[in-house]
Structures are given as structure tokens and as C-alpha cells.
Structure 1
């Protein structure tokens, strides 16, 4: 009943939600006043803006990083779109594609967020009520609710994106004052002259096209992950989020795929700056723009099938790689790109964690509680017991009678999983990642646009069977 009510309400809201998104077109070039002291700003805590890869690596010697990010509520309406894009896709090291979800808690079903987290995706913060230039309580409230009711350890809720990409010095100060966030990602930049993520120790390196950067905008240690706008094949500019067509028309599926491939080549053949696919799942609903989902899927699969040095990673993985940058040849063994595959095995017990722990097709059957608050227009499900009212900015942690334990801020050690039913960390069996492809030459480079069985080198040399096994074991060890 709760799911039906929530779905019906959200279907009515979907068109208005789509109209109030962050996909407007803004030109955002390099800030001419940006100056960074590279002698004092050094990794891992500080990094000057640059169009070149970290650690002096050449662009063609590193992977092409791709990020897939979703904004706004996670619920039963948009979940089919999300699962279509993130499910059953793997990177060259055998790890599943990892996306980043900037979640606003209004209209969110916390258990569905937990399923995404349990399957290796990053959960980040997008305020409680999707407001521009948010207060500290809007940010902290969403972080607390996602921690308590979606089971995401607070130490992993370190990313933030401003709703509408609208910010100012005060909203950044509100974010920094909480002391728990590692990065922010709300600043579009033009594709020509794209730069790598950097820290805001010396202020913004790109013009603040969607917000206001007046005042003291230096935030030491806070990373900024720019959002590259798209370039149309004719050289004109397109939006960074939910790419659009001229007013009065829509992009066809083939036009959208062509647009994304064109921009991929700008990054891949250039300085290999990360390319993002920034979307709202609501815009890809079949009832809104049916071609988007097909186009996004075709593009993602095209990159994975044809470019063995392409990795689709979360924002946290991207920053971790930058702090320990390695060549493509070493990417299979880089801890920043390793993963913890969902705990799924016939020998496991079923706990309430958003994962089919037994592998029998049943996810948390009979363990999830449905919560409904008609006066607040809030309906959600959770593994952590229903609070007395829906979390909100006036009460971000409402009382509850449940004895189910909230996940510790630091999570579970040694790859364990939190069981809210017993309020303790448990060990569950997880499958190991299987390396999908290893097309590497003796110099550590790869041949673009080719795919094939693991072990076949671009140079024509064949990797020994035992070498492939050893490499797979090494990646499996890092996953835990």
C-alpha cells in the first residue's frame, strides 16, 4: 500500500520535478584570477588546478575515467531507469560500474538507497528539501538521514552537490563548517580547456557561471570536481547535465549517442580529463523522454566494449586515484579502483542490507519496514525501524521505538557488513571480481577501439595463463 501511494504521488510530481533541474546551459571558462602555489599545494591534501594528469603521467598512459552521477530522490519511480544504467556492467578490472548518487531526502525511499550502496555505488548528499544555497542544517540533515535510515556510514557520505548548481560563499562555508565533507561538485566548465579535480585552497579555478563566488572563497582541503559541459558536433555548447536540443526540438537517440561519443573523443584523445555523464533519472523516464535511457545505455556499453582503458568510477574512486595516480598498466592493481562486490552467496544468512545475501532472488524479504507520514507527505521503507515522524530540518533525528541499531559512523572493519537486526558487524561471503580484459602492451599502453579476451595483447603477444590468474588474484585480494 505504501509503495503504491508513493509511486502514484511521484508520478504526478515527475513532470514538475524535471522542469526544476540543473540542466541549463552556462558558459564557464577558466578564472583568469586563479593562482595556486604548487610549491606548498601538494598531494594528498592539496592539488592545484591543471589540465594535465597527476604525478607527471602522460595522458595516453593513464585510463580514461568516466563518472556517472544521478541527482535528487531515489524511489520506485526512477529505480528502473537507474538499474538499467548501472546494472550488469563491469570495468576492465572486473569491478562493477560504480555511480555516484547525490540524494535529496524529500521523496526518497531509504531502503532503495541502501540497495545502491550495498551494490557498490557511492551515496552523496543533495540536501533534504532540494533548496538553492542551502543552510548547514539542510546539508547535515540529509547526511544524518542517509546514515541512519539508508545505512550508509557517515565516513562515506563525503560528497555534495548544490541543488540547481546554485551556490555562494555562505553555502560553501556551511558545507565546510560541518568538517565531514571531502568534495563538492556543482561548477560547470567548458569542454575546451577542461581541468582535473582540484582543491579550493586558492579559490575556484573556473568561472562561477551558475553561482556567486564573491567573498573569501578559499576552502583548504575541499576538493572541487568540475562538471564538463558538452560540445555539440558543430562546436556549439551543450549543457553539462541532461544534454538538450535547441528550443522547440528534442534530440533523437542517434543524435544523443553521437553527441556523447563526440565528447568522449575530446577527452580521450586530449588530456584524458575525466568525462561525466550527469543526469536526472526522471528525465529518462519513458513517459518523459523515452530515447534518453536507450541512448545512455548504448553509449556506456560502447565505451566498455571498445576501450579497454576506460573505467566508470565513483567520484570518491576518482579522487582516490588522483592521490595515488598510476598508469593504465598498473590500474588493475590500484587500490583506488578496487571494489567490494555485494555479499551474495548461498551460504550467507539474509540480513537487512539491501542485498540478496543468499542469492535466491529475495532481497531482505520480510525484514524491511514501511513507514508512512500522510501529514508530511512522506512514505518510505527502511531496515532501521520507522521514526516517530519523517526526518526534516526541524528534527533531523526523530525518536523511534525500534531496537534496530544504526550503522556506526565508521562502518564495519575488515569488509564486514552491518546487521541492523542484531546491531553488529557480520562477515558474509562475497564473490571475487573477474578481470574482463587485459589489453596491455609491454610499455603499458593500450590500443583504443579494440576488445577481446583477457590475456590478448595489443602488440600480438599472448599473456600466459598463470599470469592472468595471478593478476586476478591480486585484484581479488584488494577487493577486501
Structure 2
């Protein structure tokens, strides 16, 4: 990928360098909180504790998250409510079926039934317009190669968020377009796309560093888990600061909602404290993945972000 011939807003090369029009010090720290899988009534406790009226971005707007929703067990009235509050709803497949290898080798038709089928469910059962459902994350992060990405292109998706970056990259990888097939540094999944998909963005999952110093694809998937509230808060802050003090690539908090309820809820309490601490900064924005891509297409220095319409 040659950045001379691949330029914004249409094209962006994968890597740890952000858009060249905004310096690192002028770059707002975007934070992407994402939840995968079914949305149940018992998760509402966590959501209510996280999304309080006083937790706002520096522009005065509420902090937002992206929900990758699958069908089984989902209570669509809660999905509807989340969407009405401004959160983004995206497709995470209809069945989330086993075995994991099904997804790696799924056909074009399988992907259509799964991702498009779930887009229809979200539309019909939660009243979310199809035009608002622009992204997908695949079950188990088992990307389906060209069949998946051709289907997503044909169906008019804006982005996928399923690539796991290589285990040890200095600095986070920025979202990028799929004009060029990604190397294993940017897609360490089994079946990455081999062809060009110029209309699609990829919002990769930058690996976290677990409490034991080992890499994990999602914050709730580390081999060693935080053991108490202080441990959890330190874990969150350490990973946030790798981005905030590093190259300012968007920071992903990717997890499954039940994780917050495990162990008596200490992780949720630690997370609430972590939120309050980083939201005191005037350049930290909790936004949806669609909002991240809007910024990528039209990068704004942080002193102008309060007037940036998509945020």
C-alpha cells in the first residue's frame, strides 16, 4: 500500500501512523467501547452504571458505544432503547453457530444469511433503520476471507471489525481501507481477504496486554484476569495509556457484557472509576465505530472536534 496513491477520504494504508494532516499531539484520543453477542435484560444494570447522564465527551455529548448483536436470546426492546440513546448497533451474525471453523470457510450465501439476516432482525425487531446498521464483527473473530468481504461490499456495509493485529506491534494500528490485501501484521486471523475491497474499512482489534504481560485479542479474553478492583483499574489504565501516550490510534475496549458481572461486579466498579478518570481529559472521546470512520475520512485537530458534526 503506497500512501502517495492511497489518500483520504477514500483510501488509507494500514499502519501505526495516523492521518498526516493532524499531528500526534493534536489528535483526539478516540475510545471505542464495543459489546459482542446477545443483549439481555441482566446486562442493563451494567449499561445503566456505565452510561450515566454526567459521563459526557468534551463536546458535551454523551459517551457512546457500539453493540455487535447476534439473534439468539437478544431482547430487542433493549436494543431499540440503546439505539434511541445514540449508540451504534451492528451485526454479529444470526446464529453465532459452532464449530468456529464454520465461519472460516463459510460461503458467500452463508455470510449473506448470517450477517444480512441479522441486519434484518435488528431492523424488524428493534426498529433500527438498515441505513444505520453499517458494520459487522464475525463470531469468534473467525474472518471468512473473500466470501465474507465480497458479500459485505455487495450489501453496502461501511466496515468490518474482526481483524486481530499481530501480537506485538509497537503502537496501535489505525483503521484502514481494504484496497490492498492486509499482511499478517494487520490480520493475524486464519482466513484474511486476498482481494481488494475499496469500499470497506477495517477497524482492527489491537491486542491488549494482559495482567501477565501476554497479548489478548479482547480485554475479557486474557489468560490471566484481574483479581480485584485495583488490579482491574490498573489493567484498564495501562492499556489506555499505551495509546494515549503512544501514537493515539483509536483505543478499543472490546468485550462481552457478562464479564462485568463476574466475581461480584468488581470489574464494573473499576471500569466506572476508570471512565471517570480518563473523561477528565479534554481530548478523550468515547464514540461509535461509525464516528471513528467519519473522523478518519475528515481528520480534525482536537481543538476543532467540538464543532465536528458527526461527533
TM-score greater than 0.5 by the shorter chain: yes
Name the TM-score, length of structure 1 as normaliser: 0.59
Paired position in structure 1 for 2:181 = 203
Please show how residues 3-402 of structure 1 align to structure 2 within 5 Å: 36-88=1-53, 89-131=55-97, 132=100, 133=103, 135=110, 136-173=112-149, 175-189=151-165, 190=167, 192-205=170-183, 206-213=185-192, 216-232=194-210, 235-246=213-224, 250-286=226-262, 290-305=265-280, 307-337=281-311
Residues 38-60 of structure 1 show CA distances to partners (whole Å, capped at 9, x for unaligned) of 23322222211132221431111
CA contact (8 A) 1:67 1:312 kept: yes
State the shift of 1:162 in Å. 0.6
Q: Secondary structure at the match of 2:156?
A: coil
Q: Distance in 2 between matches of 1:324 and 1:230?
A: 27
Unaligned runs of 5+ in 2: none
Q: Distance in 1 between matches of 2:81 and 2:242?
A: 34
CA contact (8 A) 2:150 2:197 kept: no
Larger helix proportion of the pair: 2
CA contact (8 A) 2:30 2:292 kept: yes
State the shift of 1:82 in Å. 2.1
State the shift of 1:62 in Å. 1.5
C-alpha RMSD of the superposition: 2.0
Structure ID, larger Rg: 1
State the shift of 1:185 in Å. 0.6
CA contact (8 A) 1:64 1:268 kept: yes
Aligned residues: 297
By relative contact order (CA 8 Å, sep 6+), the higher-ranking structure is 2
Q: Distance in 1 between matches of 2:242 and 2:252?
A: 12
CA contact (8 A) 1:61 1:328 kept: yes
Paired position in structure 2 for 1:358 = none
